[in-house]
Structure 1
Amino acid sequence: MSEHTDTKKMVGLIVLLVIIVVAVAIIVLNPFAKLKASNPLPGEEGSQSTEKVAIAVSAVPVVRTTLQSYIRGNGNVVDPKALDVYPEVMGNLSFLDAKVGDRVEKDKVLARIDPSRAGVVYKESEVKAPVSGTILAVNFANGASVSAQAPLLRIGMLEALEVEMDIAERYVGSVKVGTKALATFKAYPDQEFVGEVTRLSPVLNPTSRTLEIGISLDDPNRLIKSGMFPTVIILTERLEDVLVISRSSVLYDGSQAYVYAVGTGNIAEKKPVKMGLVVDDKAEVVSGLEEGQRIITQGQTLLTDGTSVRIVE
């Protein structure tokens, strides 16, 4: 029994020695372990990899073009020569012969006012048309009480209509008599009416801080009607042959504007720039860039000076 036990122990010891020898041989002779030790994977301690990852970006060239600044707003078509007609006395409106849209001649009797009071009878006072024109508004109905302080009706000549429009105080310095304007109307969606500023109010509205202006439009076919509401574009500053880039490509370091240009070898180059006139997403470049330079317009927030980039369409 003792001899059998000793034999089993001897066999187990031999097997253990064989396993140890094989393990040592694998470690010492394995060429892949040596390769990994001399070339660790990126991110592992001891890695010597210098490969840079290129950032995908979009870029467009700096161009020379025309930059047109403008003011957009809504207006109201009015008759600048329209007149309010007032009764001469206070009393009851006993007769009214005027409707909106009626064509009337000068001196036509439009209304009569009865100034009589209880116990006292007076002769009726006539209200006549001061000029020939079209009735634009009637403010009272027959039988109403009227006074000399409130206009009874309004007469317009409708010969030279005007668009009234309010502009914000910050634009006042950009608009003057003769400034060009364009107008469109919902009634004529495919037609653009050309005109110019013909009147500037001498004072600002103290509540809204806006200035009322008048715009005359070319309308040889008399398509425009009093009371219409056009969309108006006033053409202000215009710059010819200036360098222009996309406004969205511009970044800021404090107050300093800069962009990223695509340099030699597709390397991002940080370029400080001086900006000028800005219109919508277009910006004038006063200095810092040259025509034809490719400016990064998408992906620029991921870059630093010297970053490798890959241009995508």
Structure 2
Amino acid sequence: MKVIQYFLIVLLAGGLWACGTKAEQSREEKPTAQTDDTAIPVKLTKVESVVRSEPVVASGLVSSSEEAKLSFKIGGIIQKMYVDEGQTVRKGQLLATLNLTEINAQVSQAQFSNEKAERDLNRVKALYADTAATLEQLQNATTGHEVAKQNLTIAQFNQNYAQIRSTVDGTVTRKLMNEGEFASAGGAVFMISSTRKNDWIVRVGVADKDWARLKVGNRATITLEAYPDQTFVGTVSELAQAADPQNKLYDVEIRINPGAVKFAPGLFAKVSLQPAQSRSYALVPIEAIVEGNGKDGFVFVLTEDQKHVRKIPVQIGFIDNDKVLLTNGLSGISNVVTAGSAYLTETSTVVLQ
């Protein structure tokens, strides 16, 4: 009986030892299995270098290069306005006139003064010939006559410009005053824009780094919200030599050909300018970019052990279909992570596919 009990005890001890050994082996093997299961499969793509001319994208409004703010030379009451907003006008066409009552009176007054000064001069000349007037009196009479003549010229000039005539062939875009109102000297009454095909322009503002890359004659591609299915071609016609003090941007004028399409001042335009100056870019697939925000983003690259990754900040130049052109951030980097990059952190373990 004792022999049987002893035998059972030996068998039980052996079984417990075997279970403990298996559990210990299981614990030792478990981390390896977890590591293999949690490693994120990734693919690498080679970083290419390309030389391109990065477009400058901006927006602005269509306007005419021949725009005029028309006003009266002198102040007065508007007697008659001959055109309305939106009306087409020709160069030299009469647009408005002032009430001439006061102006005509000033001309008559100047004429009377001039006639009197002329009579006084003739009288003094006769007296001076008879030595009855002094040289000083003759000189004063001569000066008085010349002043009167100039005052008459001024009055007649103002009389001629008591009206507004169009300075260009175009359209009245704004009528700022009406008949019976008092127009001050130089105060705008009409806004006129030329409607000739070669006078349409788009003005946009660009940053200083983009302004430095542009030149007069650079080509531009223009789209208008009014004609979303059409693309227009333009050229840079003027570059501002100083920044706008308010927005700190440099004005760029692009001349645009409307073709057979009807244009009007104020149409919203999106412009893509193509500078002649080129630069070198690092080219990577778009899926390599993570946490993109405007021009800033990040890419993942492998560490030396080929099992971990690190995140590198990059500067985005522009996107070209499924590629991204980077201006900096990948100096000395030959490969970036593409497939699997969206699931990575800097503590991730990876495995190459």
The answer, yes or no, to whether TM exceeds 0.5 is yes
Q: Distance in 2 between matches of 1:239 and 1:170?
A: 13
Could you tell me which residue of structure 1 aligns to residue 226 of structure 2? 187
The reply on whether 1:200 has 2:239 as its aligned counterpart is yes
AA paired with 1:78?
S
What SS class does the counterpart of residue 162 from structure 1 fall into?
strand
Deviations 1:157-212 (A, max 9, x none): 22220001122344322222123222111221121112121111222111211111
Could you tell me which residue of structure 2 aligns to residue 32 of structure 1? 18
Q: Distance in 1 between matches of 2:207 and 2:318?
A: 17
Q: Distance in 1 between matches of 2:327 and 2:244?
A: 33
Q: Distance in 2 between matches of 1:109 and 1:157?
A: 16
Could you tell me which residue of structure 2 aligns to residue 144 of structure 1? 181
> Are residues 64 and 112 of structure 1, via their aligned partners in 2, closer, same or farther at CA, if it must alter by over 3 Å?
same
In 2, are the aligned partners of 1:185 and 1:230 still within 8 Å (CA)? Answer: yes
The reply on whether 1:128 has 2:165 as its aligned counterpart is yes
Q: Distance in 1 between matches of 2:23 and 2:268?
A: 79
Q: Whose relative contact order is higher, 1 or 2, with alpha carbons under 8 Å and at least 6 apart?
A: 2
Could you tell me which residue of structure 2 aligns to residue 110 of structure 1? 95
Indicate the percent of aligned positions where both proteins have the same amino acid: 17
In 1, are the aligned partners of 2:287 and 2:338 still within 8 Å (CA)? Answer: no
> Are residues 278 and 166 of structure 1, via their aligned partners in 2, closer, same or farther at CA, if it must alter by over 3 Å?
closer
CA drift of 1:143 comes to 1.6
Could you tell me which residue of structure 1 aligns to residue 77 of structure 2? 92
Q: Distance in 1 between matches of 2:182 and 2:243?
A: 35
Q: Distance in 1 between matches of 2:23 and 2:93?
A: 111
AA paired with 1:143?
G
> Are residues 136 and 74 of structure 1, via their aligned partners in 2, closer, same or farther at CA, if it must alter by over 3 Å?
same
> Are residues 155 and 50 of structure 1, via their aligned partners in 2, closer, same or farther at CA, if it must alter by over 3 Å?
closer
CA drift of 1:75 comes to 0.7
Q: Distance in 2 between matches of 1:228 and 1:154?
A: 17
The reply on whether 1:309 has 2:351 as its aligned counterpart is yes
Greater mean alpha carbon deviation, residues 68-77 or residues 184-193: 68-77
> Are residues 192 and 113 of structure 1, via their aligned partners in 2, closer, same or farther at CA, if it must alter by over 3 Å?
same
The reply on whether 1:260 has 2:301 as its aligned counterpart is yes
> Are residues 51 and 151 of structure 1, via their aligned partners in 2, closer, same or farther at CA, if it must alter by over 3 Å?
closer
Q: Distance in 2 between matches of 1:258 and 1:108?
A: 65
> Are residues 37 and 135 of structure 1, via their aligned partners in 2, closer, same or farther at CA, if it must alter by over 3 Å?
closer
Q: Which runs of 5+ in 1 are unaligned?
A: 1-13, 252-256
Say which structure is richer in strand: 1
Deviations 1:68-112 (A, max 9, x none): 523322211111112221212101111001122322233322111
What is the TM-score of this pair, normalised by structure 2?
0.64
> Are residues 73 and 274 of structure 1, via their aligned partners in 2, closer, same or farther at CA, if it must alter by over 3 Å?
closer
AA paired with 2:60?
G
What SS class does the counterpart of residue 244 from structure 2 fall into?
coil
AA paired with 1:153?
F
Could you tell me which residue of structure 1 aligns to residue 332 of structure 2? 288
